[in-house]
Structure 1
Amino acid sequence: MENGTHYRTCHLCEAMCGVAIDVKDGKITSIRGDDNDPLSRGHICPKAIALQDLHEDSERLRKPVRRTASGWQEMEWDEAFDLVARKLHQTRSDYGRNSIGVYLGNPNVHNHGSLVATMPFLRAVGSQNRFSATSNDQLPHMLTSLEMFGHQILFPIPDIDNTDLFICIGANPMASNGSLMTVPDFRGRLKELRHRGGKLTVVDPRRTETAKVADEFHFIRPGSDALLLMAMVHTLFQESLVNTGSAGDLAKDVDLLRLASLSFSPEAVSDHTGIQPNTIRQLARQLANTPKAALYTRMGTSTQAFGGIATWLAYCLNILTGKLDRPGGVLFTQPAIDLVAIGAMSGQNGHFGKRHSRVRGLPEFAGEYPASTMADEILTPGEGQIRAFVTVAGNPVLSSPNGRRLDEALEGLDFMVSVDYYLNETTRHADVILPPTAALERSHYDLIFSMFAVRNTAKYSERLFDAGPDTRHDWQILLELAHRLEKLRKKGRLPIRAELGWRAFKQLGPDPILDLLLRSGPYGAAGKPVRGLAQPAIDLLMDLLPKRHPLRGLANLSSLNRRWQHLPKGLSLSSLREQPHGVDLGPLKPSLPDRLYTRDGKINLAPRRFLDDLERLHLVLSTPPEDGLLLIGRRHVRSNNSWMHNSQRLVKGKSRCTLMIHPKDASRLGLQSGDSAEVQASAGSIVVPVEITEDIMPSVVSVPHGWGHDREGSGQSVATEHAGASINDVLSDTQIDPLVGTSVLNGQTVNVKVWRPARQRKRA
C-alpha cells in the first residue's frame, strides 16, 4: 500500500464513521476522523482508533487451525476445506439436513462480501436450524415493520438533523451513535438541535450518557415501556390529539388502536412504570404538539418481555401524531442499493411463524429460530437434533442468554467449524477454525446500515493492505465450502453449467455484483434514458409490460423510473472510487405511499398478532409490581459486544465491567463501593465489582454486555487480563418475548449479595 492518507469507513459499529488513515512503509501511523465524510463529518469514537490494534493483533489467526489432543495445529486451506466439507456432508447424510446448525454474528452485516456469499452457503448447508444475533437484538423492529409496512427491514428513521423534539426511550446514542438509526456524531447533532431551539427527552432505567446531556429525563422501571407507550396512546385519544398528518388515508384501523388503549390510562400504569400520570400525559402532549418531533426506541425496549408490543406502540405514536413521512419526524431512507425494494421484487419481504423450533416450539422469523433455543436444539436427542455446528463471525457464548449451558452444548457436538480470526469463548469449541482476512485487507461498502442512516450517502473503500497470497476473504471461504458441499451432494460432480457458474462466482467476488446494484439503482449510472427514447416513451413501454414482469420490476428500481428524476445520478463502483470521502445523496424525504409493501397499500396500524398479545399486557395491570432487583445491560463507547476487548487502548483504565446499584439498595444489602457482589438467578451467578451510583433507578442493577473472558482456552491475552463477567451467565434462556421470540436481556429478576471467597466463607 502506498504511503499517504487513505479514506475508509469504520466497520466496527452501525455509525459508519469516515476515517482518514495515514500509512508509511506499510504501517499505520495515525487514524483520525474524515472531515469530508458527508455523514460523519469528521467524528470518530475510540473504537475507530483501535482499527490499528485489530489489524496488527499478533493473536489474530491467519491460517486454518484444527484442534488436536496436543493443542491447535495449523493446516493448509485445501486440507481444511476438504475436512470441513466432508464432515458437514457426512453429518447431513447420517442424520438429515437439520442436523447442522448455523449461527451468524453481527459483523457479517458490516461486510458486503460476507452478505453476498451467505445465502449460497446456507442453501448448500440446507438446514432449517439457522440462528443469528437478530433475536438478541432487533427482531421486534423487524416484525413490526413487516406487519405495519409490509417489509421486514423498512424502518422509519428519525430525521434528527431537522427535528425539534427527540424523545429517546431505552436507547443510548451518545455511546452507540445510533442503532437502527445510523447517526454518527450524535453529540454534534444534538448541539445543532438545541441551536434550533429543540429539546432532547430521555426515558431509561439508568441515567445514561445520553440522559446526562438531555433537557428532560425520567426513570422507568425495566420492562414496563409498553405500559408507558400505551398510556401515551390513551392520552392522545382521550385529549383528541390524534392527527395522522401526511399518513392520513394510509393508516387503517385507528379505531381498533383507540379501543385497545382504553384501559391503559396514565393512572393505571403509573405504579408499574414508576412515572407519574401527569408526566406521561406531558410526554404525549409534547410529541403531539411539536410539529417536527420523533420518538425513538431501541435495545432497552426491544430486548424485554414486551419488546414486540413496545416497538409497535412506538411506531404507532409517531403515526398517530403525524410524524411519519414528515421532515423532522421519521422517514424511510432511499439508499443507493435498495435492498428493501430488491427483496420485495423477488418476494423476500420477510415471513414469521411458518414453522416452529423442534424442542420449545418457538416461531421462526425469516428462516431463523431464536438464538435462545440453540442449546435446546443441540442438547435434546431425537430427529433433527443438531450434531454439527457452524459459526460465522459470532460469539454466542457471550452474547446469548445462559452462556454456560451453550458452552456445555457446543462441547458435546460431533463437529464444529468457525469462520473467525480469533480463538474466543465460542470458537474454542470448534474442531476447525477458518480465519478470514481483516477488514483493512478487503474492500468495504455498507449495504445494510446505509438503509438506516439519518442521511442518504454512498461510500466505497478500497482495501488498504494486501492480505498476502495464503489468505482468504470471508466470501471466498463461504463460497468454497458451499461449492464443495454441493459437489459432495451430487456425488462429486456438478453439471457443467453449474460448475462454471460456481467458478465464475468465486473468481468475480462481490464487487462486480456491487457495481451492478449501484448502476441499476435509483442513483445509478444508467440514469440517462436510452438514446432516442424520451421519458414519455419509456413510461409507455413500462405500462405495456405486465404488472409482475421482471423487466418492469427492474425498471421501477432503476433510475429510469420517473419517480427518481429528482435524485442525483451516475453512481457506479468506478464513480465511488473517484470520491473516496463518499457521496452525499441528500436528506431523508417523504416517500409514501410508494414505499409501502403491504398488499392493500395501507399502513396496518393494528396488526392482529399485536392486539392478541395485549391480553398478556393487561395481566400486568392486575398484579402489583414484582419485588426484587431487576437486571439491565449497558453499553460503553469503547466496547462493541464481545470482540473489541483484545485492544489494550480500549480496555485500559478503570474497569467498566461493574455492578451499578443505587445507594439505597447497596445500603440495604450491606454493599460498599469496591466490594465484590454475587449476582445470581436461575441460570447461574457471576461476581462483579460494585459501583454505587444514583445514576441507576432504585431496585435496578446494571452489568454491561459482552464481557466474561475468563473461560479456559481463549487465545486473547489482553481480553483475558480484563475478563470481567458475562451478564449472559445469569440471564435465563427460557425467558423470551412470546410474541416475537426475542431473548429477555433486560428486566430479569436477580438476587445480589456481598461475595466472599470460599476461604472467608469457611472462617465465617
Structure 2
Amino acid sequence: MEPETRHAICRFCHAMCAVKLTLEDGRVTRIIGDKDNPVYHGYTCIKGRNFHEFHYAPNRVLHPLARGSDGELQPLPLDEALDGIAGRLSAIIAEHGPRSVAIYGGTFSNFCPAGVMTRHAFMDAIGSPMRFSNATIDQPGKPIAMALHGRWGAGPQPFDSADVCLVIGANPLVSMWGGVPPFNPARRLHQARKRGLKLIVIDPRRTETARKAELHLQCLPGNDAAILAAMIRVILDEDLHDAGFVDAETQGFDALRDAVAAFTPEAVAAVAGLEPEAIREAARLFAGARRGIATGGTGSNMAPFGTLMEYLMLVLNTLCGRWIRAGETIPNPGVLFRMSTGKARAEKPRPAYGFGEPIRVRGLADTAAGMPTAALPDEILTPGEGQIRALFVVGGNPMANWPNRSKVEQALKSLDLLVAIDPQVGATSRLADYVIGPKFGFEIPATSFASEGITFYGLSLGMPEPWAQYQPALIDPPENSEVIEDWRVFYELARRMDLELSWFGQAYDMTRPPTTDDLLELFLKRAPVPLDEIRDYPGGREFPEQAVPAAAKESDWPFRLELGHPDMMTELGALADALGHPSALAASITGFDGRPLLLTSRRQHEVYNSVGQDLPALRRKRPYNPVYLNPVDAGAIGVGTGDAVELQTAAGCVPGIAELAEDVRPGVVSVAHGFPNRDAGEAGAGGFAGTAVAELLDDAVGYDRFSGLPVMSAVPVVVRAAGPAAA
C-alpha cells in the first residue's frame, strides 16, 4: 500500500498544532507541520513530531489492569474491570455518600471535549461536587483575578497590533503560553518585532523569550507582584494612565493609588535585586505605547502572591486601556467557542472564590479556576463525614505533580478505590486498584475547540484568528487491544450503576452508546460555526466573516472593571509589610548545611508537564531533569555540569544532576516540575530521571488563600554537592 498523507491535530499540548501525518499500512510513520496552514505556518515542536510514539510505546496499557491478591497489577478483561469498578463504587456511595467520590482531570485529559463533558455528567449523576483538575495546581490566579477585576466583553487588544508586550514569569517560545500567542510563537514574535513591537520580560532567568526583549528585568524570584505594584505607582505618579478609559469604565482608582503608595521603585528594587530606574523604564515603556498587553505565566503564578500578581497585571492593562473599544474589530469572537460577548463593556461580575462546595481544610472552597487540588490529599486523609474514599485520575500524574509528595502517596494508598485512566503505568497509576488504557490522539476524532476555549482560563490565551479544524479518527488502536475512550469508561460505569447521564439538559442514550462524534456534536451544538461546516475543510479553515466590530455598551450598563478590590488591596498591604523581610518560607532551610538558593520552576522543550518523559526520541536529548545553576553558585558549592547534588527543604530532600547555566541569575536554582522520583524506579522503561520537585514542597505552608495553591516557585532550598560526578 502506498504511503498516505492526512491532515491532523497534534494533542501533545494546548497549542494543538495543525500537522500532517504519513500513514503506511494504517500506522503513523511521520509527523510534520502543515506549511499551508494560515495560523501555524508549518510549525511543530520536537514533542509534536514524535507524538505518534505514544501510540506504539512498548509499555502502553493495552488491556485493563487490576490489583490482584498478591498486590500486583494483572491484566483483566475490560468488562470484568468495569464490573469490578462499578460494584466497588456503588458500595462506597451507599455507605459513605456521593461526596466520597472525587475525580481529578490532568493535562492529558483536556484535549477532547467528549471526555470532559462525560466525566462531569457522571459526577452530576452520582451527585458529587468533588471535581478537581490541573488548573488549580498550575495558574489558578488567572480566572480568580479575572473574576475579581472583571472581564472585558470585547477582549484584550490583540498581539498582532500591539506596540508593546510585557511577559511576566513565562517563556512562550518554549511553553507555548504567556504573552505571545502559542500558535507558532517564534514566528509571531519575530514578525511583531520587525514591525516595531517592544518586548519587556520580568524573569529571574534569561530565557529564550527574554533574549528577544528590549528590556529584561532579571529579578530575584517571588517579586513579580511587588514589581507590578511599583510600575503602577510610576504610571499613576507620572499621569501615564488612560484617564478617559479609567474614568468611564472602572472603579476603585483611589483605593488602588493608596495601596501602591508604599511600592516606590527604590523600595521594590532593593528587594527584587534590580535598579530602580529599570522599573521606571518598564512602566514608561509599557504605558507609553499606543497598544499592548501584559500576561503572566507559571513561574509568577506559582510564586508567593500569585493571585495578586495576576490581578495587578489586569489592573496594569486596564490603567493603560489595553482593551478593544467599541467600533474596533474583534479579530476572533469565536468559531467553535464564543470567546467574547462582542460588547465593549465590563461584564457582569461572577464569583471568584469561596463559593460552592467547601473544602474541609484551610477554609478553602470552590473557585473560578475550580476546586483547590492541593487540598485533595487532606480531603482523603481527614476522617469524618465527607471524607473522599474513591478517586478517578484521568490523564494526570498526582505523584509527579502535586506538592508534598509523601502526603500524596499516603493519601492515594489509603483510598478504598483508586482508578487511573492512563496510557502508561506511571508513578500514580502504579498505586491504582484499576488502570484503564484509553484510546487517544489520532485514534479518536478531534477539534480545535481547546485552542479557543482556553481563553476562558486567562487573558490573551485563545486563538487570535477565526480558525477551526476537525480531524476524524485516523488510525486504529493496536490489534487485539482493549482500549476505550476515557469518556466511555464513565458511560459504561453509569450503565452498570443504572445512572442517567445528561449534558446541559441533553440526555445521553443509555441503551445505545454514542460515538465520540455524537458527543462532539452535542458539545458544540451552539458553536458560532456549525461543526458540519468545519468538517468540509480537512486542513482547517479561517472564517474571516466571524471578525466583527465591537458593539458599544448599553447606556444604562451598570458594571465597571474593579481596580481596587478590597481583597486585593488587603493583599497589597500584606505585601507592603513584607517588603524588606525574608519570606516565611525561608524557615524551611534553617538548620541545613549548604548554599541557600531560591528554587524556580521552568519548562523543558522535550516534555509537557509529566507527559513525554518516557518517549525514546525525546529522552535521547536529555535523559534526566537537570538542576540548573549559575556558574557562580556552582563554583561556591563545588560542582560542575554532570555532578550529583542534593536539594533540601524542611519538606524533603531529593537528588539531582547539576548543569551550569549562565542564563540563571546567581542565587537561583532552576528545575522543571512534573518529574518522578529518580531513586524509586518510577522513571518508566528507561525514562527521564528525577529531580522530583514535588518532594520539596509543603502544601500547608505559604499557600495562596484564594486558590489554595502552595508556593511552588521562589522556594528557599539548600543545594549541596552529593558525592562523585554522576554518569
Report if the CA contact (8 A) 1:100-1:388 is conserved.
yes
Partner of residue 423 from structure 1, selected from 403, 422, 425: 425
Aligned-partner SS, 1:705: coil
Q: Deviations over 1:361-395 (max 9, x none)?
A: 22321594322222212222222222222111110
Where does 1:28-39 land on structure 2 (aligned, <5 Å)?
Answer: 28-39=28-39
**How much has 1:80 moved relative to structure 2?**
1.5
Give the 3 Å change call, closer, same or farther, for CA 574–752 of structure 1 in structure 2.
same
- What is the alpha-carbon distance in structure 2 between the residues aligned to residue 495 and residue 300 of structure 1? 39
Q: Do residues 460 (structure 1) and 470 (structure 2) align?
A: yes
Give the 3 Å change call, closer, same or farther, for CA 326–751 of structure 1 in structure 2.
farther
Partner of residue 509 from structure 2, selected from 503, 506, 524: 503
**How much has 1:63 moved relative to structure 2?**
2.0
Amino acid in structure 2 at the alignment position of 1:729: E
Where does 1:12-161 land on structure 2 (aligned, <5 Å)?
Answer: 12-70=12-70, 71-149=72-150, 159-161=158-160
Q: Deviations over 1:716-744 (max 9, x none)?
A: 3032xx32221111111123112332232
Partner of residue 365 from structure 1, selected from 360, 367, 378: 367
**How much has 1:518 moved relative to structure 2?**
5.2
Query: What's 1:446 paired with?
Result: 448
Query: What's 1:482 paired with?
Result: 494
- What is the alpha-carbon distance in structure 2 between the residues aligned to residue 316 and residue 140 of structure 1? 14
**How much has 1:656 moved relative to structure 2?**
5.2
Q: Deviations over 1:378-435 (max 9, x none)?
A: 2222222222221111101111111222112211222211122211101111111122
- What is the alpha-carbon distance in structure 1 between the residues aligned to residue 237 and residue 138 of structure 2? 34
Of Structure 1 and Structure 2, the greater helix share is in 1
- What is the alpha-carbon distance in structure 2 between the residues aligned to residue 339 and residue 115 of structure 1? 18
**How much has 1:281 moved relative to structure 2?**
0.9
Give the 3 Å change call, closer, same or farther, for CA 581–633 of structure 1 in structure 2.
same
**How much has 1:123 moved relative to structure 2?**
1.2
Report if the CA contact (8 A) 2:676-2:683 is conserved.
no
- What is the alpha-carbon distance in structure 2 between the residues aligned to residue 257 and residue 367 of structure 1? 25
Query: What's 2:604 paired with?
Result: 636
Q: Do residues 725 (structure 1) and 726 (structure 2) align?
A: no
- What is the alpha-carbon distance in structure 2 between the residues aligned to residue 144 and residue 238 of structure 1? 24
Amino acid in structure 2 at the alignment position of 1:476: R
Q: Deviations over 1:232-289 (max 9, x none)?
A: 1101110011105667622222222222212211112111111211111111111111
TM-score of the superposed pair, with normalisation by structure 1: 0.84
**How much has 1:213 moved relative to structure 2?**
2.9
Amino acid in structure 1 at the alignment position of 2:667: S
After TM superposition, the structure 1 stretch with the greater mean CA deviation from structure 2, 61-70 or 696-705, is 61-70
- What is the alpha-carbon distance in structure 1 between the residues aligned to residue 244 and residue 257 of structure 2? 17
- What is the alpha-carbon distance in structure 2 between the residues aligned to residue 17 and residue 73 of structure 1? 37
Query: What's 1:564 paired with?
Result: none
Give the 3 Å change call, closer, same or farther, for CA 33–208 of structure 1 in structure 2.
same
Aligned-partner SS, 1:742: coil
**How much has 1:645 moved relative to structure 2?**
1.1
**How much has 1:182 moved relative to structure 2?**
4.4
Partner of residue 703 from structure 2, selected from 736, 748, 755: 736
**How much has 1:336 moved relative to structure 2?**
1.7
Report if the CA contact (8 A) 1:252-1:602 is conserved.
yes
Report if the CA contact (8 A) 1:124-1:486 is conserved.
no
**How much has 1:317 moved relative to structure 2?**
0.8
**How much has 1:194 moved relative to structure 2?**
2.0
**How much has 1:181 moved relative to structure 2?**
6.4
Aligned-partner SS, 2:509: helix
Give the 3 Å change call, closer, same or farther, for CA 593–256 of structure 1 in structure 2.
farther
Q: Structure 2 regions of 5+ residues with no counterpart?
A: 342-347, 454-461, 587-595
Give the 3 Å change call, closer, same or farther, for CA 505–283 of structure 1 in structure 2.
farther
TM-score of the superposed pair, with normalisation by structure 2: 0.88
Query: What's 1:606 paired with?
Result: 564
Report if the CA contact (8 A) 2:14-2:450 is conserved.
no
Give the aligned length.
Answer: 694
- What is the alpha-carbon distance in structure 1 between the residues aligned to residue 646 and residue 554 of structure 2? 50
Report if the CA contact (8 A) 1:422-1:715 is conserved.
no
Query: What's 1:199 paired with?
Result: 198
Partner of residue 661 from structure 2, selected from 687, 693, 696: 693
Where does 1:425-574 land on structure 2 (aligned, <5 Å)?
Answer: 425-451=427-453, 452-467=462-477, 470-487=482-499, 501-503=507-509, 507-515=513-521, 520-522=526-528, 524=529, 572-574=530-532
Query: What's 1:563 paired with?
Result: none
Query: What's 2:321 paired with?
Result: 322
Query: What's 2:593 paired with?
Result: none
**How much has 1:444 moved relative to structure 2?**
0.4
Report if the CA contact (8 A) 1:141-1:155 is conserved.
no
Q: Deviations over 1:439-461 (max 9, x none)?
A: 11000013232141232311111
Aligned-partner SS, 1:678: strand
Report if the CA contact (8 A) 2:215-2:282 is conserved.
no
- What is the alpha-carbon distance in structure 1 between the residues aligned to residue 419 and residue 313 of structure 2? 40
Give the 3 Å change call, closer, same or farther, for CA 335–599 of structure 1 in structure 2.
same
- What is the alpha-carbon distance in structure 2 between the residues aligned to residue 244 and residue 407 of structure 1? 53
Q: Do residues 232 (structure 1) and 231 (structure 2) align?
A: yes
- What is the alpha-carbon distance in structure 2 between the residues aligned to residue 214 and residue 367 of structure 1? 31
Give the 3 Å change call, closer, same or farther, for CA 680–215 of structure 1 in structure 2.
same
Give the 3 Å change call, closer, same or farther, for CA 438–676 of structure 1 in structure 2.
same
- What is the alpha-carbon distance in structure 1 between the residues aligned to residue 506 and residue 196 of structure 2? 62
Report if the CA contact (8 A) 2:403-2:698 is conserved.
yes
Query: What's 2:640 paired with?
Result: 672
Q: Do residues 756 (structure 1) and 723 (structure 2) align?
A: yes
Report if the CA contact (8 A) 2:233-2:260 is conserved.
yes
Give the 3 Å change call, closer, same or farther, for CA 428–754 of structure 1 in structure 2.
same
**How much has 1:230 moved relative to structure 2?**
0.5
**How much has 1:471 moved relative to structure 2?**
3.5
- Percent identity, please: 30
The two structures, once aligned, show a CA RMSD in angstroms of 3.3
Query: What's 2:630 paired with?
Result: 662
